[in-house]
Amino acid sequence: MTAADVPTGVGVTGVDDVKGVPVTVVGVGVSGAAAALALVELGAQVHAVDAGDGEQARAAAAELRAAGARVTLGGLPAEPGAARLVVTSPGVPPGTPLLAAARAAGIPVWGEVELGWRIRPGARWLAVTGTNGKTTTTEMLGAILAADGRRSTTAGNIGTPVVTAALAEPPYDTLAVELSSFQLHYTDTAAPIAAAVLNVAPDHLDWHGGPDGYAADKARIWRHPGTIAVGNADDPVSAALLARAPGRRVTFGLDPATADVTVVDGELVDRAFDGGPLLTVADLLAGGPADPAGGPPAGGRPPGARAPSAGGAAGPGRHLIANALAAAALARADGVAPAAIAEALAAYRPGAHRDAHVVTVDGVRYVDDSKATNPHAALASLTAYPSVVWIAGGLNKGLAFDELVAAARDRLRAVVLIGRCADEIEAALARHAPDVPVERAAGMDDAVEAAARLARAGDTVLLAPAAASMDMFRDYAERGDLFAAAASRRGSDVSPGGQSRGG
């Protein structure tokens, strides 16, 4: 088939139709470039376009041109032209003129994830979405699948593009797929074996047109009746969305009175798929290195904290336990053996900048949760520790801080504010926690110095910014690295027999 064979205004219906057909790919970032290369491999006439013209875009453009694609940088066309399919990168808003014009002309607009599914329809996907915890849960799930002996990988928002995984030979047995709301907006036919919505809190509201649009895109992960819908019984929005899922519904959560996969008497238990007890909470993350200062593995419980019991979770680590429950529920939905779940969850270690213990100095723990880039994530982090000197602030994404401060105020020893939204957080503190000391810092070194001065033995100095990083740092990783470096310098003079340890 050639472009001339396709009637004007009619798009392709599947990947078998793209050979010789003009296809426009929007964006040359990781997912867009992967989609363009896949389409070249499928024989399409690929034109990749990107609004940017920076160093990374030019490097991607050179690779795509070498593969046989045409590339235009520095702006997006307003019309699809000869294209009979448009494949978009996930961050491109749906109201972008090019995408709107394509839809108006009857030309399909697929996301890279949708393209990946259509390349290998019927693949075994176990999918994860949510405002927070997606990457941790997907990593846990990937580790479980590997422990079960499957040829598997993690893909999607976690790093490896779905199209890249879809084209792998021999094919993967199972994919653990992390999906953002942006990616889900552009999916139609993808039908995971099972999928989890971890939680839903306000985020990216400008892109989705408000909280209802954001929640609706999260729920698209459950749109096919054959998908086992796994929802969080402890999260009101996830639970409300689950009530409308068309397929089988399974809950996870910390309260055994409301959840199918839950915690009973200190054990993670599967009551949905007859897996029974999986592992104890004490064994969760136990395979990581111990803290010589006497604390738990990074991301685990500090000394003296109580593990969850039949009445629900008490003490820190609630979000990590919930992530483990979700990963276990998805694995059990696809028949993974309980022993593989126990093995993987005991050995799992959280990724960098996710509730990572850096150092302990004079009885004060320094914890890097730079990945907490919105209030919902920051609250999960703050409630993991009984007494906190909180380093917060950055680039706000149009979100309010009142609920966060009101819920966390009893845990706050003091607050050190950085970044563009410092005034907004300080105003929320004045309304809901007026007795908590607040200081400002010009940079991360100053922030850590101020936090150390305010902290007492037994406290946690916690970087959980509740905001994005790009006002002061390259990304959240650089922000976390600078925090860790500043905290580690405070412990560098402590003798090997002291309370400190390197991160």
**72: CATH:** 3.40.50.720
Q: Which two tokens stand for residue 346?
A: 């005991």
Contact 380, 316 (CB under 8 A): no
Please report whether residue 22 resides in a domain.
yes
What is the pLDDT, as a whole number, of residue 301? 33
Crossing angle for the helix pair 338-347 and 134-147, to the nearest 10 degrees: 130
* Same domain membership, residue 94 and residue 126: no
Q: Where in the sequence is the domain holding 399, given as residue range(s)?
A: 356-489
Q: Which two tokens stand for residue 220?
A: 């698209």
Last residue of a domain, which of 347, 366, 398?
347
Q: What percent of the chain has pLDDT over 90?
A: 76
Kindly tell me if the per-residue pLDDT of 442 is higher than 70.
Answer: yes
Looking at 47-51, 208-212, 230-234, 387-391, which range is the least confident one? 208-212
Kindly tell me if the per-residue pLDDT of 1 is higher than 60.
Answer: no
Last residue of a domain, which of 98, 116, 134?
116
Please report whether residue 5 resides in a domain.
no
DSSP E strand boundaries for 288-337: none
What is the pLDDT, as a whole number, of residue 398? 81
Q: Which two tokens stand for residue 464?
A: 């959980």
What is the pLDDT, as a whole number, of residue 2? 35
pLDDT tens, 157-209?
987 999 999 999 999 999 999 999 999 999 999 999 999 999 998 666 566 56
What is the pLDDT, as a whole number, of residue 356? 84
* Same domain membership, residue 91 and residue 35: yes
* Same domain membership, residue 142 and residue 59: no
Kindly tell me if the per-residue pLDDT of 46 is higher than 90.
Answer: yes
Q: Which of 453-462 are b and which e, b meaning 16 or more Cβ less than 10 Å from the residue's Cβ?
A: ebbeeebbbb
Confidence class for position 467, pLDDT limits 50, 70, 90: very high
Task: Give the mean model confidence (pLDDT) for residues 267-293.
Answer: 78
* Same domain membership, residue 185 and residue 328: yes
Q: Which of 68-78 are b and which e, b meaning 16 or more Cβ less than 10 Å from the residue's Cβ?
A: ebebebeebee
Cβ neighbours of 193 (radius 10 Å): 18
What is the pLDDT, as a whole number, of residue 303? 28
pTM over 0.85: no
* Same domain membership, residue 237 and residue 371: no
Contact 92, 26 (CB under 8 A): yes
Looking at 59-63, 91-95, 351-355, which range is the least confident one? 351-355
* Same domain membership, residue 299 and residue 191: yes
Please report whether residue 185 resides in a domain.
yes
CATH code of residue 203: 3.40.1190.10
What is the pLDDT, as a whole number, of residue 16? 87
* Same domain membership, residue 52 and residue 178: no
Kindly tell me if the per-residue pLDDT of 492 is higher than 80.
Answer: no
Kindly tell me if the per-residue pLDDT of 33 is higher than 50.
Answer: yes
Structure-derived torsion over alpha carbons of residues 490, 493, 499, 500, reported in degrees to the nearest 10: 50
Kindly tell me if the per-residue pLDDT of 294 is higher than 60.
Answer: no
* Same domain membership, residue 201 and residue 278: yes
Please report whether residue 503 resides in a domain.
no
CATH code of residue 404: 3.90.190.20
Please report whether residue 2 resides in a domain.
no
pLDDT tens, 311-333?
333 333 788 899 999 999 999 99
Distance, in Å, from the CA atom of 236 to the CA atom of 257, rounded to the nearest integer, reads 15
Contact 414, 451 (CB under 8 A): yes
Residue 86: phi, psi to the nearest 5?
Answer: -120, 125
What is the pLDDT, as a whole number, of residue 352? 82
Q: Which two tokens stand for residue 141?
A: 């799930």
- Binding annotation: 130-136
Please report whether residue 157 resides in a domain.
yes
Please report whether residue 423 resides in a domain.
yes
Mean pLDDT, the chain, whole residue set:
88
Kindly tell me if the per-residue pLDDT of 124 is higher than 90.
Answer: yes
Last residue of a domain, which of 70, 101, 116?
116
* Most confidently predicted of 3-7, 393-397, 443-447: 443-447
Handedness of CA 37, 39, 45, 48 (dihedral sign): negative
Kindly tell me if the per-residue pLDDT of 142 is higher than 50.
Answer: yes
* Same domain membership, residue 128 and residue 92: no
Kindly tell me if the per-residue pLDDT of 258 is higher than 50.
Answer: yes
Task: Give the mean model confidence (pLDDT) for residues 41-68.
Answer: 96
* Same domain membership, residue 418 and residue 373: yes
* Same domain membership, residue 269 and residue 173: yes
What is the total count of domains within the chain?
A: 3
pLDDT tens, 215-249?
999 999 999 999 999 999 999 999 999 999 999 99
Please report whether residue 299 resides in a domain.
yes
- Binding annotation for ATP: 130-136
Confidence class for position 6, pLDDT limits 50, 70, 90: very low
* Same domain membership, residue 89 and residue 145: no
